[in-house]
Amino acid sequence: MAVPQNKRLRMQVIAGTAVGMESCALPTLVIVAALMGSYYLGMDSGIVAADSGKPIAGFFGTAVATMGMLSSASFVLTMDFFGPISDNAGGIVEMSGEPEEVGR
């Protein structure tokens, strides 16, 4: 991708789009497999409808799995916001001429 090509710009755009789609394919398949697995595990959980006796907990299993996947989002966002704050604090310590043990 980084090497200049003698092809048209359209071909480079298509190649770039293909590379982008390849990088998203595996995570997408993993998430789909996790959601399908949670649906089928929910259906096998033994929770049945009172009137028909059919299993009804498939979507409940999917909801529980979705909440489990989303529960880590708060930690990721917190670490994203904390990085620049600690960088700025380190820069302030360096520019103020304090000894190195202050920045640790």
Helix (H, G, I), strand (E, B) or coil at 48: strand
- Write the secondary structure of 89-103 as one string of H (helix), E (strand) and C (coil): HHHHHHHCCCCHHHH
Across the range 2-29, mean pLDDT stands at 79
- Beta carbons within 10 angstroms of residue 103's beta carbon: 13
Which residues face 55 on adjacent strands? 48
pLDDT tens, 64-85?
998 988 888 888 888 778 777 7
Q: What is the torsion angle, in degrees rounded to the nearest 10, for the CA atoms of residue 78, residue 83, residue 89 and residue 91?
A: -170
Q: Tell me, what's the pLDDT at 40?
A: 93
pLDDT bracket for residue 1 (50, 70, 90): low
pLDDT tens, 33-64?
999 999 999 999 888 888 988 888 988 999 99
